[in-house]
Amino acid sequence: MTINYGSNEALSAKVPDNGEVPSIGAPQADGHLSTILNGTKASHTNGTSSPSKYAIPLNNQLAFTPRKLRVITIGAGYSGLMVAHKFQHRFPEMQDIIEHKIFEGRSEVGGTWLVNTYPGVQCDVPAQIYAFPFDPNPNWSHFYASGAEIQEYIKATVKKWNLDRDIQLNTQVTKAEWQAEEGVWKVSVVHDGKARDEYAEILISAQGVLLHHHWPEIPGLKDFKGHVTHSANWDHDYDYSNKRIAVIGNGSSGIQIVPQMAKLPGTDVTNFIRGPTWVTYRVSPSTHLGRPSDESNPSYLESEKKEFAENPTTMRDHRRAIISRSTKAFRMFIKGSDTNIEGQKFAVAQMSEKLGHDPVLCEKLIPKWDLGCRRVTPGPGYLESFLLPNCHLTDSGITKISENAVHTADGKVHEVDVVVCATGFDTSHCPHYPIIGAGGVDLAKSWKDDARSYLSVLSADMPNYFIMSGPNAVAGHGSLIEVMNWTSDYFVKWIQKIATEDIKSIAPKHSIVEAFNQYGDEILKTLVWTSDCKSWYKRGTVDGRVTALFGGTNILYKRIIENIRGEDFDIEYRSPNRFKFFGTGFTPYEVDDKNDMACWIEQSVNAPKRKRAGLVCVTCHERKIKCDLQNDIDSVHKRCSNCATNGQECRVRASKRGYHRAQQTQAPSPRAQSGPVDELPSALYTPPQSTATDERISIDYTQPTITPRGPDSYPSRHEGSHDQYAALAINPIDVPAASQIGAGAPAEGRSVASPQSSRSKATEAYLGDAGFLQVFTQDYRDYASGRQPGPRGGSLSLGLPGPDLQQSFTETYFKYCYPWCPVLDQDTLFTDLARSPLLANALALASSHIQPPVIPSTKPATYYSQAKQMFYDDDEADPVTCLQAICLFYWWSPRPSSQVQRDGAWWWSAVGIRQAQQMGFYREPKPDHPNSSSMDRGLRRRIWWTFFARERVTAICQSRPCLIDPADCDIPLPTLEDFPDPTNPKAEIFIYWVRLCAIMGRVAKYRSQVTGVAGLPFPTQLTEELIDWVQSLPSHLKLPVESSFTTNFNRDVHQLHLQYLAVIIVLYLSPSSQPLPRAHVAAMMAASCVARIFKDYLARGGIRFLMPVSGWMCGIAMLALLRASLEQPTQHAEEDMKILVFTLKELRASYPVADVFLQGFERLRAESASASGEDDNYTAASDPTSSVNESIDWIRYFPFMTAQTSGLASILLSNHKDAALLDDPWLGTMPLQLQDLFGAFEGFPSYIPVF
C-alpha cells in the first residue's frame, strides 16, 4: 500500500468536510504507510527505543481543527450584549466553534439601566461615548443621556443586531462549579421555578459590579411606617408630591434624585450625607459641542443630529474629540500635579458659584480632599437645589429611624413621610451565589477581604472563567463601554486558542496575580484614588486598598489586553502531549487545491534587475526602443543612432532612478519587506505609450522625475514563450511604427504598423446594444475626431501633494468617493500615503478631479500620468496598494468609451480584477491560512466587491462581457463588519449598491443575449429582483422625493437610486427602426425621476462629485423622455429634458465626453421629428419584452414616487391603471397597447451607425 504524498487530490479525498481524517487502518506488511507517516519502517518508533509519557496515537484530524465549545454568559446588560455581538457579528467564524447561551435573571435586557429607573437617572458619561462601538447613535437627545433613553437604545440595538438570539430571560444562576475531570463548568439555574444544570467549557461573568443594591444598616429602618424605596428599585406607583422626603446618600443616584424630588409640588426634601463630594464636570459640555451653552446638560440640535446621521465622519470626529479630552483629563488624577491642583481650584469656584457662595453650604458640600478621590459627577441641578426653600441638607450622622422620623447625631428629629435610600450597590465584587473553582476554592470567600484579579478579567483557581469589569477594571477612565469592547476581544482570542489547540483549561498563575496587583498598587499610590477620603473605590473605607480601578491609563490597558500573555498562565491540555493539535501534520488550507501553496512568497518581488543604460535620449525613451547615446558620449555633438537616422533632435533625458531608490529606502512597504527570492520578475502589462490627456507636461529639471521602465528591463519574450501575460502585454496599437525604430529591429512577436496605418490612430471600440450607447455612435465619432490625444509631453515631475492638499484630498475622498470605493481606511491612510507615492498620486487624481483646489496645484492629468507610470514601472511593491490605486483611477475618464484605450474604467477594472484574482481575492481565505493573522479580510472584501460592482455598471453601460463569474467566487458579500466603522451609513450604501450591481450584471447579460435571440422571454425574474431590492431598503436609504422639493437630501442615496433607475430604463427601452428606441411607461417614469434627482443636485450647487457613468444615465433618460414627447412635446417632458441638458453641461466640466450626449440629444431630436410615423419595421412577435407578464405592475418599481415628484410622474401615476402605455394626447401616435409597445428586438443591422 502506498500513498501519493505529493498529491493534494489523494489527501483531500481522505479528508471529509468535518476536518476528521478517516481511520487509516493497520499498517500493511510492506510498511509503506508507516514509513510515510514516521519516516521509518513499522517495526521502529521514529528513532526512540523506549515509550515516553508524551507518546500518543496519531490524531486523525487536520491541524488546528477546532473542537466545539459550550459558552455560558451570565448577564444581558451592556457587557453580555457586547459578547453576543462578538460571537454573532464581529467574529462570525465563532459560530462554527461555540454554542452560546446567555442567562439573564430579569425579564428584559438592559442590566443596570433596566433596574435604575428613579427620577432623574442619567449617565454621567457623555452619551456619544456611552454607545456600543458597533452601533453609535446619532439621535441622542442630550449631551448626557437619561436612563430611559439608554434603555431604549439598548433594546433597539438588540433588535437591530438580533442579539437576543442566545438569551434566556428569567433564568437565575444559583451556583457554578468547576468539574476538573471533565474540564467544564456545571452551572445551576432556575427558570420559571424549575431548576436544572447546564454545562459549558467557558463561563463568562458579564454582570458588572452594579448588580446587588445595598440597603443601609440603620437601626429602625424596618420600623418606619411611611414609604421606603431604594434608588435601584424605585416604586413608580407611589405619589411623592406633597410629601416630606428624606434622601439618604450623595453618590451619583442621590445627587440626581434630590433636584427631581425638590421640583415636585408640595415636597420638602432633606438630603442626609456623611460627607462632601465633588460635583463638577471636568470639561464643559459646551467645549465638547463647540458652541456656547449655559446648560449643564444641553440638548443636541436637530441640525446636529441630522449631520451625525448623514455624515457619520462628523459624528465619529465628535466622539473622538470627547474621548480624547477624557483621556487627557486622566492626568488630573495624578497626586499633586498641576492639572489636579488647577482642576480643584476650578471645581471649588464652580461649586461655590452654584451654591450662591453660601458659606455653610460650601463648608458642608465642597471637599477638602483631592479632586477625584471619590467619583466626580456633573450633577446637574443638585447644588442649586439647596438654594430652594424646600430643600435642606444635613451632614450629621443618622443614629436611627423611628416610625415617622429620621434621628441624627446632633439631636435633631426630622419628621418625614418618605425615606429614599440612594445608597448604591455592593461593590465588593464578591458573587452572591457560590462559584467554586479548582480545588474547591470559593470565589466569594477568596475575595471577601480583598478582591484580586488578573487584568480584571480572570482570577487564580478559576479555570476558563472570564470576568467583565472585575476587580481593578478600567472603570474611572472615561467610557467603560470601550473597555468592554477590548475585553470581549480578549475573551474571543482565548476561546479560539482553547478550541484550536486542544486546551482543557487556563487560569492565571497565583504568582502572576500577586505581581500584577502588587505593581498596580505602586502606581495607584501616585494617583488621587488612594487619597484620604471614604470611597467605594476602596470598598467604602478611607485607607483601604483600591480594588475598583486599574492602576494606569486606558491606553496602557488596551495595549496590554490586545495580546495573550501565555507565560502568565497555567495551561492544562486535554492530551498528555500538548502538540496533539498538530493532527496529521496538514492544515485544512493545503488540502484545498484552490489555495495558493506558495502563499508566503511576496506577490511583487525585488529580483535583481538588468543593468539599465546610464544615458538615453528623450525620443528613444518615449518610443521604448534601445538607445545607444551613451556609446557616443565623447562626441562633441552627442546623438544616438536612431535620432541620427531619422534626422531628429537628440535631447538627453535626465535620470530619476536615484530618487526612487532613495524613496524605497526611506519608506519600504510593510508588506514587501522580504529577503531575495529566486524568481524572475514578470510584468503584468507593458508600460503605456501615451497618457490620456491633451495637456502637454513641461519638463522641470529642478525636480526629480519618473522614468518609465524601458523594454530592456523586462524579460524578453521569444516566440513560443510560456509567459502567461504575453497576450495582455503586447498590444499592436501602442507599438512604435517601423519608421520610428531606426536601426533597432522590432522585438519578436510584436506587430508593427506603418505611420499611415489606421492602427496609429484611435481605434473605435465595440459598443453593444444593451446600454443603448450605440445610439450615440455618430456623436462619439464627431467628438473623437476633434480630440485626438496629442503627443506625450516631456518627462514627468514627481510633484506629490503637500500636507494641506493631502488633507483636502482625503476629505474629498471620504465625503464623495467612499460609498462607491471604500478601499482606504482613515486610521491608516496618512501612513499609507507617506510610504506610497503611487497611492498618493491616485488619491490626488480622484479628489482633485472631483473637487479641484482653488490654490495653485498640480492638474489631475499630471497625477494620473505619474500614477500610471509608477504602476507600470512596478514602483509600488505592495500589490494591495496597487489595487487601491487602481480603484481610484475610476474617476479619470478623458476619452469616450467608443475608443479603444488603456485609460478608461473598462481597462483599469480589468487590470484590477486580474491582479485581484491572481492574489486570490475572489476566494475567502480559510481561518488557518498561514497569513490569516496579518490579513485584513474586510479590506480584501471591500476591494473585491468594488471591482465587481464597477464591472457590472460598466458592462451594462458599454454592453461588454464581465470577467468575474460569481460561480467562481466564494468570498462573502460585504457586511457592516467588513468596515472599520460599521455604523458609517456610507458602508450601508456600499452594501446595497453591490447587491444592486449584481442584478445589473444579470440584466446586462440578458440584454446582450437579446440582440441575437429572437423571442427571448421578458426577464420577469430580474424585474422581481429589482422590486425586491428597492423594497428592502431601510427607511433612511429610501429616495426622499415624495414632495415637490427635497427637504432631507442625501447625495449618496440619490446617486444609489440613479443607478437603480438606469437599470429600469435599460430593461424597458426597445430597439426601433426609428432613430430612437421605443420606451415603455416604466422607462419614462424612471427617466422623469432621474431628472428629479439631477434637479436636486443642481439646486445644491453642482454635480462634480458624481461618477463618470452619470453622463450615460443622462443619455438613456433622454432617450425615454424624447420618445415620450416625440409627437406632441409637453411642458412636463420638456422640463425634465431641460434639467438633463443643464446636468450634462455641468458634467462636462469634469467629464468632457458629456458633450457626446449633448450633441446627440439635439441630433436625435431633429432626426426623430422627421422620422415620426415611419416605424414600420416593428414586429411585436420578435420583441422579447412584448412577452412581459401583466402581473408586473410597473408602479411597484417606484414606491418613493408620488404625483408631486414631477409633472410627468403626476400624469403617469394618474393613468397607470388604464394601460401599460398611456393614451393621453401628448403620446400622439405611440402604440397604446402593451403588445404594440416594443419594436423588433433583433438588434440593429451592423451597417447602420445608430449610436
Nearest by Cα to 264 from 246, 241, 234, 245: 241
Please enumerate in sequence order all residues whose Cβ is within 8 A of that of 1084, keeping only pairs 6 or more positions apart, or say none.
1120, 1121, 1123, 1124, 1208, 1212
364 pLDDT tier (thresholds 50, 70, 90) = very high
Tell me, what's the pLDDT at 858? 86
Residue 245, burial from CB neighbour count under 10 angstroms (0-12, 13-18, 19+): buried
Lowest mean pLDDT among 547-551, 817-821, 1005-1009: 1005-1009
Please enumerate in sequence order all residues whose Cβ is within 8 A of that of 447, keeping only pairs 6 or more positions apart, or say none.
428, 429, 430, 459, 471
pLDDT surpassing 90 at residue 62? yes
Tell me, what's the pLDDT at 232? 87
Tell me, what's the pLDDT at 884? 95
Q: Is the whole model's pTM more than 0.85, yes or no?
A: no
State which amino acid sits at residue 590.
E
Lowest mean pLDDT among 16-20, 863-867, 1163-1167: 16-20
Tell me, what's the pLDDT at 292? 84
- Tens of pLDDT, residue by residue over 691-740, are 333 333 332 323 333 333 333 333 333 333 333 322 322 233 333 332 33
DSSP-assigned states of every residue in 129-155: GSS-TTS--TT-SBSS-BHHHHHHHHH
Tell me, what's the pLDDT at 269? 97
Q: 747 is written with which cell numbers?
A: 522585438
Tell me, what's the pLDDT at 3? 31
Instruction: Over range 539-560, report the average pLDDT.
Output: 91
Strands (E), 428-513: 435-436, 465-467, 503-508
Instruction: Name the phi and psi angles at 271, rounded to 5.
Output: -100, 120
Report which of residues 12 and 656 the model is more confident about.
656
- Tens of pLDDT, residue by residue over 383-403, are 999 999 999 999 999 999 999
For 573, 1068, 1085, the CA distances from 1088, given in Å and listed in that order, are 69, 14, 5
Please enumerate in sequence order all residues whose Cβ is within 8 A of that of 498, keeping only pairs 6 or more positions apart, or say none.
69, 201, 202, 464, 506
Report which of residues 157 and 1111 the model is more confident about.
157
Please answer whether residues 376 and 278 qualify as being in contact, where contact means their C-beta atoms are separated by less than 8 angstroms. Answer: yes
Please answer whether residues 986 and 312 qualify as being in contact, where contact means their C-beta atoms are separated by less than 8 angstroms. Answer: yes
Which long-range contacts does 508-514 make (Cβ < 8 Å, 24+ apart)?
508/454, 508/458, 508/459, 508/460, 508/568, 508/569, 508/570, 509/460, 509/568, 509/569, 509/570, 510/460, 510/461, 512/454, 512/568, 512/569, 513/452, 513/453, 513/454, 513/459, 513/460, 514/452
Tell me, what's the pLDDT at 1027? 92
- Tens of pLDDT, residue by residue over 1063-1072, are 999 888 887 7
- Tens of pLDDT, residue by residue over 514-533, are 999 999 999 999 999 999 88
Structural domains of the chain ordered from first start: 1-50 (no CATH), 69-107+169-212+447-579 (3.50.50.60), 221-421 (3.50.50.60), 1037-1243 (no CATH)
Please enumerate in sequence order all residues whose Cβ is within 8 A of that of 545, keeping only pairs 6 or more positions apart, or say none.
450, 521, 538
Cα–Cα distance measured from residue 715 to residue 713, given in angstroms and rounded to the nearest whole number: 7
Instruction: Over range 240-247, report the average pLDDT.
Output: 96
Greatest mean pLDDT among 279-288, 382-391, 681-690 lies in 382-391
Instruction: Over range 590-607, report the average pLDDT.
Output: 73
DSSP-assigned states of every residue in 74-98: E--SHHHHHHHHIIIIISGGGGGTE
631 pLDDT tier (thresholds 50, 70, 90) = low
With helix as H, strand as E and coil as C, how does 506-536 read? EEECHHHHHHHHHHHHHHHCCEHHHCCCCEH
Tell me, what's the pLDDT at 524? 94
Lowest mean pLDDT among 626-640, 923-937, 1000-1014, 1041-1055: 626-640
Please answer whether residues 24 and 42 qualify as being in contact, where contact means their C-beta atoms are separated by less than 8 angstroms. Answer: no
97 pLDDT tier (thresholds 50, 70, 90) = very high
Report which of residues 1174 and 975 the model is more confident about.
975
Instruction: Over range 876-894, report the average pLDDT.
Output: 89
Tell me, what's the pLDDT at 1171? 56
Lowest mean pLDDT among 39-43, 132-136, 220-224, 919-923: 39-43
898 pLDDT tier (thresholds 50, 70, 90) = low
Instruction: Over range 1078-1104, report the average pLDDT.
Output: 88
- Tens of pLDDT, residue by residue over 435-473, are 999 999 999 999 988 999 999 999 999 999 999 999 999
Report which of residues 1122 and 787 the model is more confident about.
1122
Cα–Cα distance measured from residue 78 to residue 272, given in angstroms and rounded to the nearest whole number: 32
1120 pLDDT tier (thresholds 50, 70, 90) = confident
pLDDT surpassing 70 at residue 1029? yes
932 pLDDT tier (thresholds 50, 70, 90) = low
Greatest mean pLDDT among 532-541, 1091-1100, 1232-1241 lies in 1091-1100
Tell me, what's the pLDDT at 1135? 87
For 265, 267, 407, 478, the CA distances from 261, given in Å and listed in that order, are 9, 7, 21, 29
What's the DSSP call for residue 244? E
pLDDT surpassing 70 at residue 7? no
Please enumerate in sequence order all residues whose Cβ is within 8 A of that of 1091, keeping only pairs 6 or more positions apart, or say none.
1117, 1121, 1135, 1136, 1137, 1139, 1140, 1206
Instruction: Over range 1038-1062, report the average pLDDT.
Output: 91
Tell me, what's the pLDDT at 798? 55
Tell me, what's the pLDDT at 785? 52
Cα–Cα distance measured from residue 204 to residue 73, given in angstroms and rounded to the nearest whole number: 5
Cα–Cα distance measured from residue 491 to residue 204, given in angstroms and rounded to the nearest whole number: 9
Q: Which residue has the cell 499611415?
A: 756
Q: Give me the percent of the chain exceeding a pLDDT of 70.
A: 74
pLDDT surpassing 70 at residue 929? no
Cα–Cα distance measured from residue 996 to residue 984, given in angstroms and rounded to the nearest whole number: 19
960 pLDDT tier (thresholds 50, 70, 90) = confident
Instruction: Name the average pLDDT for the chain.
Output: 78
Tell me, what's the pLDDT at 751? 31
pLDDT surpassing 80 at residue 1075? no
Tell me, what's the pLDDT at 672? 37
Report which of residues 210 and 163 the model is more confident about.
163
381 pLDDT tier (thresholds 50, 70, 90) = very high
Tell me, what's the pLDDT at 329? 85
Cα–Cα distance measured from residue 206 to residue 75, given in angstroms and rounded to the nearest whole number: 5
822 pLDDT tier (thresholds 50, 70, 90) = very high
pLDDT surpassing 80 at residue 1038? yes
pLDDT surpassing 80 at residue 1177? no
749 pLDDT tier (thresholds 50, 70, 90) = very low
Report which of residues 166 and 291 the model is more confident about.
166
| Number of CB atoms found within 10 A of residue 731's CB | 17
Lowest mean pLDDT among 658-667, 987-996, 1159-1168: 658-667
Tell me, what's the pLDDT at 1224? 31
Lowest mean pLDDT among 507-511, 701-705, 803-807: 701-705
- Tens of pLDDT, residue by residue over 321-349, are 999 888 888 888 999 998 899 899 999 99
Tell me, what's the pLDDT at 629? 75
Instruction: Over range 115-139, report the average pLDDT.
Output: 93
Lowest mean pLDDT among 291-305, 684-698, 1198-1212, 1222-1236: 1222-1236
Q: Give me the percent of the chain exceeding a pLDDT of 90.
A: 45
Please answer whether residues 752 and 746 qualify as being in contact, where contact means their C-beta atoms are separated by less than 8 angstroms. Answer: yes
Tell me, what's the pLDDT at 979? 93
Tell me, what's the pLDDT at 260? 95
- Tens of pLDDT, residue by residue over 78-88, are 999 999 999 99
Q: Which residue has the cell 451653552?
A: 293
Instruction: Over range 258-287, report the average pLDDT.
Output: 91
Cα–Cα distance measured from residue 523 to residue 928, given in angstroms and rounded to the nearest whole number: 40
Nearest by Cα to 671 from 604, 746, 763, 589: 604
- Tens of pLDDT, residue by residue over 983-1028, are 888 999 999 999 999 999 999 888 877 444 345 677 888 999 999 9
| Number of CB atoms found within 10 A of residue 599's CB | 15
Residue 587, burial from CB neighbour count under 10 angstroms (0-12, 13-18, 19+): buried
Tell me, what's the pLDDT at 841? 93
Please enumerate in sequence order all residues whose Cβ is within 8 A of that of 612, keeping only pairs 6 or more positions apart, or say none.
657, 710, 712, 713
Tell me, what's the pLDDT at 613? 63
